[in-house]
Amino acid sequence: MPASASESTSPPGDGDGNLVLCMVCAAPFQSMQDCLAHELLKHASKPQKQLRQRLNAITKIFNSAQSQSERHELREALEKCGHLRTVLNFFAIDLEKMKTCFGHVRNCIEKEMKGKMSSPFVMPACPSLVVSISSPDST
């Protein structure tokens, strides 16, 4: 007797001899529910393991001797930049302080040069590139 249409389209694992195979390891199971439980229990942690392995590899690279020395050199360079920035901030940001310092230096130089030259010595308004860059009226 031929099989009815409902028997031929039944889902796997619902019949007597039909087994459901795991999509990952092809292990046989009696029902779809058992197969899904197996997949969650046995195979769900593989992406986490792969992620952990990748993170460990990245950590190993960051902890390598070459990476440590590069970070040390970068830290030293940043410290030097910080010191330079402090000096530049002291003079360039406070224009009044810069004008006062420049005026004091100019007066001292002009006083020293007064009797040593035949013509009066006049110090230029901006003696250096740094001062000319930082001074707003030097443009």
Rounded CA separation 96/24 (Å)? 75
18 Rama class: left (phi>0) / alpha (psi -120 to 50) / beta: beta
pLDDT (average), residues 99-105: 81
To the nearest whole number, what is the mean pLDDT of the chain?
A: 72
Residue type, 11: P
pLDDT at 24: 81
DSSP 115-130: TTSSSPP---S--SHH
Quick one: what percent of the chain has pLDDT higher than 70? Answer: 65
pLDDT (average), residues 118-135: 57
Whether pTM exceeds 0.85: no
